[in-house]
Every structure is written in structure tokens, then in C-alpha cells.
Amino acid sequence: MKQTGESSQLLEDFSLESVPLNQRKTWLNLAVIWIGIAVVMSAIFRGMMIGLGLGKISSVVLSYVLGEIILIVMMGLMGYIGAKTGFSTPLIANYSFGRIGAILISLSIAFSLIGWFGVQAALFARTIQFYFGTHFSLPLFSFLCGILMMIPAIFGIRGLSTLSWIASPFMILIFIWGIIKMGFHFLPSETLVTLASNHQPAPYPITLGAAASIVAGGFIVGAITSADIFRYARPRLKDIFLAATTAMIVSAFLHLVGSVLAMNTGVYHERLPELIIDNQYLGLGFIGFIVLLLAQWTTNDSNLYSSVLALNNIFRMKRWKITIGAGVFASLFAALGILERLELFLIILTVSIGPIGGIFICDYYILRRLQKQNFRERTISKVNYKALSVYFVSFLIGWATSGHPFTIKIFPFSVFAFNGIISSIILYYVVIKIFPKKE
């Protein structure tokens, strides 16, 4: 019976309850998990865009500093709420949004991350096809890759930790070696900026603000849902920020790798697998191929893990069963071509995450209503209309300032996900002060 109980706990991962203090992990263990999440090909993509767009290494580094500071602050504040309560982001949402409101929030989180899982699974499949030069059916192969990537997430935080401990040091060492091999011999700045301006279908950013926005916007969903990982942290603010800072330094390094590659070669980000594997460029061959796969895998399991925690807040069943169901569903997205067809859908979902974090932060740190409450005793309302109203208004603000062709181009280079966060903090504070909640 004891063995059965341990197996059940291994798979369930405290998805519907507070993580006990005796199950908490060191900041280093959680930092390694976050490093595994941060080491992703999209970070190198963004670095390549920024390197070509800004053309100067000093401006490139400054954009990283600005973007990563935003992410460290958001991860620290959201992560500390998770560590203090032991709850995942969807469970915390019950107390700020009410039960019905939390369902809508959970769906927003889940579908956003499931969509990103499908994107990464498709990239995973394409990387394999490029290396082997095979002609497998891409939809079928994308589906099978998604199923394979799903397996570690079934085991929850333990699966993420194990994969990250194995993969992260290897990936970082390879990238350090690669950047040393490539060197810092850049093409002329004017040439790089011209290449950035000529990129199709859309030019690369050529201003510091635009570059910083790319850095921050690329990881904002992970920052807002950081309670999902940090609920396993010891409730010490220093530990939370230390882990977040460590991970974001690695993220900045990955951006730098991308910038150096692009500034040396003038190659666009779409050719990254070729740039890393081909002897004409870095020439990492099989090692580069493995690094590309591991970088996508560690991040994608985090996407699935957080999406399952969100769905578990709606469907009260075994977490590992939801993981399998969500993994299959996300793999179908990959097979159906989400990488090409649903960019606007994912942008809208990404914008929808920001205001959630803003309301949590306002509730916990500014209004301090949550901080004074014992989460195990506090009565959960059916729905918090004030929070939901602020959420939808802030979502529209984030969308309208995203600079997408189908939105109002008020601030085309602003961090649109961050705009929603700031809006929700201010609006929720004003609404609660004008219309105090009756306890």
C-alpha cells in the first residue's frame, strides 16, 4: 500500500493542493529547472533578430538587460506568491477571480501553453528532418514527436527536474564553445541593419525599445505562471529572486549566442538549424543536432506541465491522465500545422496571460487582501466580477498595443504583454478602492 501511495504521489505532484514544506526544494534545484526552460531555440531566434536589427553589440547587450529585468521582477513577485501559498497559478486564481472566473483564467493559460507545445513539437520534428534529410510525412512525424516530448511531463516536477539536470549543463557548455569558435568578428553595422530592414515577411526591430520588448515578451507567459514551479520553493524572497536571476542570465546568454551568430554571418533566424549543424557555419554536426532537440524538449515539457495544472483546476481527475490527454491534443495541433496557421491565435492568448499576473500582484502586494488570508480557510466566491472586468479591459489594452496588423498600432514596439500587466494593476487597484469588496 505504501508503494502504491508513493507512486500516486509521484504522478499527481500536489496538483490540487498546497505543496507541503517537507517537499520543498533548494533554490539551486529550481534554478536548474528554470534554466532548462530558458534554454530554448526561440531565445536564439530572438537574439538573431536583435543582433541584425541593432547592429552594435553594446546596444544588443543593453536590450537584454532591460528585457531581463522586467522578467526577473515578474518571476520574483509571482513566484513568491506560489512559494508562500504552495499553490499553482490556477489554484491561486480561485481566490482572486472566484471559482467561475478561475475556470476562464485556467482555460486561457491552458490553451496558450498547449498551443506553444504544438509549435515546439513541430519545430522538433523539422529539426530531425533537416538533420537526417528524411521525407517522412511532416504532420505524422510532428504528432509522434509531440507524444515523445510529453513523457517527462507525466512525472511532473520530478520529470522536469531530471530532464533539466541532464540537459542544461551540456547545452550551456556547447553554446559557450560555439560562441568562442565563431568569435566576435562582426559584419559592418550598416550591413546588418540593412539585412534586418529587408527581412520578409516582416522587418526586424531596429530600435532599443523594440529589442527589449522582444526579450521580455518572449518569456512573459513563463514569468506570469512561475508559481507553478516556485510553489516547490522555500518561501524566502531571496531564494526566489536568486533562482529567477540565474535563469534569466542564462536566457540573456542564449540571446547573445543568437546575436553573435547573426552578426558574424548575416543569416536570418529561419536558418538556425543549418547555422548550428552545417560545417559552413558552426559545424557542430551531431552535437548541434542533439543540443537543438534538448533545448526544445526541456522548454516544451514546462509548457505542458503548466497547461495541465490549469486544466486540473477545471477537470478534477488524475493529473497524469490529463497530461496524456493534453499531450495528445497538443500533438494534434502540431500535426495540423499550428506553426504556420495560428500565429494570431497564439498572440492573442499570450496577451491574455499578462493581466492575470497584474491582478495577482495588486491583490497580494498592494491591496494585501490575499496576504492576510489563510488560503485553506478563506471562502472562495463564485465569481469576482471586478477582477474579471479589469482582466478583459486589460486584455484589450494589451492587444490594442501589440502592433499586430489586425490591431490598433498605438505603441507598435511596446511590450504588449507587459502593457496588460501594468493596466491590470492600476485598474484593479482603482476599482477595488472605489467599490470595496464586501468580505
Q: Can you give the pLDDT at residue 178? A: 79
Lowest mean per-residue pLDDT among 1-5, 126-130, 160-164: 1-5
Distances (CA, A) of 159 to 154, 165, 223, 302, 310: 7, 10, 20, 10, 18
pLDDT over threshold 70, residue 342 = no
Is the bond leading into 273 cis (omega within 30 degrees of zero)?
Answer: no
* CA pair distance 79, 332, nearest whole angstrom: 31
Q: Can you give the pLDDT at residue 386? A: 95
Angle at 178 between CA 72 and CA 129, to 5 degrees: 95
Q: What is the DSSP string of 276-328?
A: HHSTTTT--HHHHHHHHHHHHHHHHHHHHHHHHHHHHTTS-S-HHHHHHHHHH
Higher pLDDT among residues 201 and 390, named by residue? 390
* CA pair distance 140, 129, nearest whole angstrom: 12
3-state helix, strand, coil in the chain (%, to 5): 75, 0, 25
Q: For CA atoms 59, 65, 68, 73, give the dihedral sign.
A: negative
pLDDT, tens digit, for every residue of 81-124? 999 988 888 888 888 899 899 898 888 888 888 888 888 888 88
* CA pair distance 209, 269, nearest whole angstrom: 20
* CA pair distance 80, 99, nearest whole angstrom: 22
343: three-class secondary structure by DSSP:
helix
Q: Tally Cβ neighbours within 10 Å of residue 314.
A: 15
Q: Tally Cβ neighbours within 10 Å of residue 197.
A: 12
- Give the residue from 157, 198, 204, 438 showing the smallest Cα distance to 304: 157
**In angstroms, how far is the first alpha carbon of the chain from the final one?**
43
Q: Can you give the pLDDT at residue 436? A: 82
* CA pair distance 64, 122, nearest whole angstrom: 27
pLDDT over threshold 70, residue 397 = yes
Cell of 42: 526561440
Q: How many residues does the chain have?
A: 439
pLDDT over threshold 70, residue 43 = yes
* CA pair distance 423, 266, nearest whole angstrom: 38
Q: Can you give the pLDDT at residue 127? A: 83
* CA pair distance 315, 404, nearest whole angstrom: 34
Higher pLDDT among residues 156 and 173, named by residue? 173
* CA pair distance 171, 178, nearest whole angstrom: 10
Q: Which fold has domain 18-343?
A: Hydantoin permease (1.10.4160)
Query: Quick one: which H or E segment has residue 130?
Result: helix 89-132
Q: What's the predicted TM-score (pTM) here?
A: 0.80
* CA pair distance 135, 130, nearest whole angstrom: 10
